Structure 1
Amino acid sequence: MRVGRFSGNTHSSIVMGLLLNLLSLSGCSALPGNAPTEHGVLKVAAEKKNPLDFLVLPITSEVTQVLATEHPPLISSLYADSAYSVSNDRIGVGDILDITVFELGSGLFSGAVPETSANVSVSPGGGTASVTHQALPPTEVEADGTITIPYVGRMHVAGVTPQRLAEQIRVAFTGKSQNAQVMVRIGSDIANTVIVSGSVHHPGRVLLSTAQERLSDVVAIAGGANYPPEDTFVQLVRGDKSGGTDLGTLETYTKEDIQARPGDRIHVVYQPRSYTVFGAASKNAMQVDFNSPTVNLAEAIARVGGPNDSLADPNAVFLFRFEDPVAAKALHLRTPETFQGIPVIYKLDMMNPTSYFFAQKIPIKSKDVILIANAQTNRFYKFNQLIGTLISPAITAAWIAK
């Protein structure tokens, strides 16, 4: 029985034929890719596979103008009355009051041992009388906002100034004391304070003064933030509302650095800013820290080496962002809002020289995602590489068999 043998050329031809048949069945679509193409992004945005209903906006002069002047929703936007000045010298619940009563001659407190007494002239004729002053025991403002004054009774004092309370007590002493004069001082001030917590050097209670301290002032009084201002998030809780922004913004924009009010709670959080780049960049996908007060879109792309010459489609650089309602309204976006904001994708054409000017004006926000799309020819390029990788051993074997 004769056993047939294939020649080396015949064997190589069969192997090559099988490989080509397999590759033709799978096609280029079966090859792996690290990012979608421009067509892939636009197709999803236009189809029903888009559950967020986001839009893709080309970066034009109009879009750039909106984004360049955009600021995140800041603390001042949450309070329509932020410009209203609040006095920080009001008496409140929990305060300890020091009350001193000055009396002329025989008075209500003349039987008590005075702290100080003096003879003063009380008439042009040179007559003198003894003037004494008596410090009442430290008095705490109770939960209902009242205190008890000897010979007067209970008085509601919460919300009034020490000067106003002194006048009210003086009037109450009329007819009971001879020309009484009263001084009131807040000895232990609880009501006119704010609580500062988090990443500051001296967290705790900060007393507000009549100088009308602003939020950045309060952080400074608490010893300052532990981290750079741009990476420090300041959250303000006022009543049932809250808002926040980074400390660098408070220090830069006076309008946003609103006046602190008694009862505010200020939480300082270390929140380093970063953005993420995916796709056909010259460097691998990475998270990039800001490490500077601001970063624009051109700088963000340059930090990852820009588009890869052999893999990327420079016509399609996408900026993924959850936009804030103010900018979304200016851009006429009707996309439903999520708890993070309004999802939108901005498309930059880096083959257009004008786009480089636009990119320098668009600030990057923390948590932005930049996608450098794969070129349409990228899979075909990989397909050819795969064919070469598979066929080369067969060609080598055929050459050795000769």
Structure 2
Amino acid sequence: MLAALVVLSACGLPRSGPNKNEIYAGAVERGGNAHVIYVNDHVTRATNFAPTYGFSNSFLRAGQVGADEIRSGDVLGLSIWENVDDGLLTALGSSSTALTEIQVDSAGYIFVPYAGRIRAAGNSPEQLRQIITDRLSAQTPDPQVTVSRVAGNGATVSVLGKVMAQGVYPIERPTRSLSAMLARAGGVSVEPEVAVVTVKRGNQQGKVWLTDLYGSRSNDIALRPGDIVLVEEDQRSFTALGALGGQTRVPLGNEAINGVEAIAMVGGLSSALADPTGVFVLRDEPESVASNVLGKPVNGMQRIAYVLDLTRPNGLFLARDFLIRDGDTVYVTEAPYVQFSKVLAAVTGSADSADSLTSIGD
């Protein structure tokens, strides 16, 4: 019987992954390439940072687009009244003429008969009206001019991604802010808790959680012509493996998740399998954080296996204070007796391994 136990122990019995001793064997101190670190108060302080999203000052300080400012690409409509029977532009017997759909060219100019080429971009409709009036006054007595924007193609924003209605939308008086433009696109098509909004402006970009956008007025930035608004579902996640209630990839969302919550999110430790002294968080730690954790300078990314021993007096407190980050692997080893029970079951062919072994001995 003992010989059979030894042989089976040496064989590859089914299990969920490496045991605690095998992970320890891969430590740097034993010739491996991973640092095995017990989590303590120093480690929680050194590692506890969560990525934050937000907009730079250039986004936050940008003023709203003037609702009346004319831009390249806008389409204008002009109406001109002349105080004579046979005017420059009006037909015989008519006192007015309408010039519809005059598009502001890429250089910002329009052409008005008898007034010539006039710079429209950067002016308000009222300012442009005065310029045209002054130009025509030299050729017809007391002209009266009105200017209106027919279409605002020159001040548009592209809204893409996880929204109800993707498209190119003009910046108008009601849609000059980020939240208003998202509402104009029908809102987001994913759960608000996992929605991330990115605004690309030239060579710059900033992003914010949707919940933070509505939670803080400062994040509701003013939009500028040519902005691209992209709504995505957050892809940050951790992987849960081993002797847990479930083995899966778990989205992190926009909340800070600690070790206790991460375990609970997959059903907790398996009471029949888990070793509470062997809860590991496997992570590639950046150089700055790794140096702080190890207490010495290191070069480059470091592989670290953080150990959460839940049987220690403050083990659960430390697990509660230890934050899980994007890309982490939470792995729980099996208790030592589990493999022994599997060996007994393989030898005796019974689930009640210890009782069967006693019966065989009798």
Amino acid in the other structure paired with 1:369: T
* Residue of 11, 17, 24 corresponding to 1:35: 17
Percent identical across equivalent pairs? 27
Amino acid in the other structure paired with 1:88: V
Amino acid in the other structure paired with 1:93: S
- What is the aligned partner in structure 2 of residue 124 from structure 1? none
Gaps of 5+ in 1: 1-15, 117-131
**Deviation per residue, 1:41-62 (Å, 9 max, x gap):** 4543527764xxx755654445
Contact 2:282–2:330 (8 Å) recurs in 1? yes
Indicate yes or no: 2:50 matched with 1:70. Answer: yes
- How many Å apart are 1:210 and its aligned residue? 4.3
State the alpha-carbon separation in 2 of the partners of residues 324 and 212 from structure 1: 41
State the alpha-carbon separation in 2 of the partners of residues 200 and 238 from structure 1: 19
- What is the aligned partner in structure 2 of residue 299 from structure 1? 261
Indicate yes or no: 2:70 matched with 1:91. Answer: yes
**Deviation per residue, 1:169-189 (Å, 9 max, x gap):** 345446445565654332101
Contact 2:165–2:185 (8 Å) recurs in 1? yes
Contact 1:195–1:264 (8 Å) recurs in 2? yes
The alpha-carbon distance between structure 1 residues 201 and 24, as it changes in their structure 2 partners (threshold 3 A), is: closer
State the alpha-carbon separation in 2 of the partners of residues 200 and 156 from structure 1: 37
State the alpha-carbon separation in 1 of the partners of residues 177 and 309 from structure 2: 43
Indicate yes or no: 2:202 matched with 1:220. Answer: no
* Local SS of the residue matching 1:236: strand
Contact 1:278–1:284 (8 Å) recurs in 2? yes
The alpha-carbon distance between structure 1 residues 65 and 395, as it changes in their structure 2 partners (threshold 3 A), is: closer
Indicate yes or no: 2:214 matched with 1:237. Answer: no
- What is the aligned partner in structure 2 of residue 252 from structure 1? 215
Contact 1:212–1:259 (8 Å) recurs in 2? no
TM-score by length of 1: 0.67
- What is the aligned partner in structure 2 of residue 9 from structure 1? none
Contact 2:281–2:330 (8 Å) recurs in 1? yes
Amino acid in the other structure paired with 1:37: N
TM-score by length of 2: 0.73
- What is the aligned partner in structure 2 of residue 268 from structure 1? 231
1:133-144 alignment, distance < 5 Å: 134-144=97-107
- How many Å apart are 1:265 and its aligned residue? 2.2
- What is the aligned partner in structure 2 of residue 373 from structure 1? 333
- What is the aligned partner in structure 1 of residue 280 from structure 2? 318
**Deviation per residue, 1:114-153 (Å, 9 max, x gap):** 999xxxxxxxxxxxxxxx7654332012234322122232
State the alpha-carbon separation in 1 of the partners of residues 358 and 288 from structure 2: 64
Amino acid in the other structure paired with 2:78: I
State the alpha-carbon separation in 2 of the partners of residues 345 and 155 from structure 1: 69
Indicate yes or no: 2:43 matched with 1:81. Answer: no
Indicate yes or no: 2:264 matched with 1:286. Answer: no
* Local SS of the residue matching 1:136: strand
- What is the aligned partner in structure 1 of residue 151 from structure 2? 188
Contact 2:75–2:102 (8 Å) recurs in 1? yes
Indicate yes or no: 2:95 matched with 1:165. Answer: no
Contact 2:65–2:222 (8 Å) recurs in 1? no
Contact 2:115–2:135 (8 Å) recurs in 1? yes
Contact 1:115–1:133 (8 Å) recurs in 2? no
- What is the aligned partner in structure 1 of residue 26 from structure 2? 44
* Local SS of the residue matching 1:299: helix
State the alpha-carbon separation in 2 of the partners of residues 193 and 201 from structure 1: 18
State the alpha-carbon separation in 1 of the partners of residues 228 and 255 from structure 2: 26
State the alpha-carbon separation in 2 of the partners of residues 88 and 173 from structure 1: 30
- How many Å apart are 1:291 and its aligned residue? 9.2
Contact 1:93–1:142 (8 Å) recurs in 2? yes
- How many Å apart are 1:261 and its aligned residue? 2.3
Structure with larger Rg: 1
Contact 2:64–2:176 (8 Å) recurs in 1? no
Contact 1:93–1:158 (8 Å) recurs in 2? yes
Contact 1:317–1:347 (8 Å) recurs in 2? yes
The alpha-carbon distance between structure 1 residues 212 and 137, as it changes in their structure 2 partners (threshold 3 A), is: closer
- How many Å apart are 1:302 and its aligned residue? 2.0
* Local SS of the residue matching 2:60: coil
State the alpha-carbon separation in 2 of the partners of residues 177 and 329 from structure 1: 80
The alpha-carbon distance between structure 1 residues 314 and 111, as it changes in their structure 2 partners (threshold 3 A), is: closer
Contact 1:98–1:187 (8 Å) recurs in 2? yes
- How many Å apart are 1:81 and its aligned residue? 0.8
State the alpha-carbon separation in 1 of the partners of residues 140 and 6 from structure 2: 110
* Local SS of the residue matching 1:81: helix
- What is the aligned partner in structure 1 of residue 311 from structure 2? 351
The alpha-carbon distance between structure 1 residues 397 and 83, as it changes in their structure 2 partners (threshold 3 A), is: closer
State the alpha-carbon separation in 1 of the partners of residues 184 and 216 from structure 2: 19
* Local SS of the residue matching 1:200: coil
The alpha-carbon distance between structure 1 residues 352 and 185, as it changes in their structure 2 partners (threshold 3 A), is: farther
Contact 1:70–1:327 (8 Å) recurs in 2? no
State the alpha-carbon separation in 2 of the partners of residues 244 and 140 from structure 1: 34
State the alpha-carbon separation in 1 of the partners of residues 93 and 27 from structure 2: 82
- What is the aligned partner in structure 1 of residue 90 from structure 2? 112
Contact 1:232–1:269 (8 Å) recurs in 2? yes
The alpha-carbon distance between structure 1 residues 157 and 44, as it changes in their structure 2 partners (threshold 3 A), is: farther
The alpha-carbon distance between structure 1 residues 364 and 48, as it changes in their structure 2 partners (threshold 3 A), is: same
Gaps of 5+ in 2: none
Contact 2:49–2:323 (8 Å) recurs in 1? no
* Local SS of the residue matching 2:263: helix
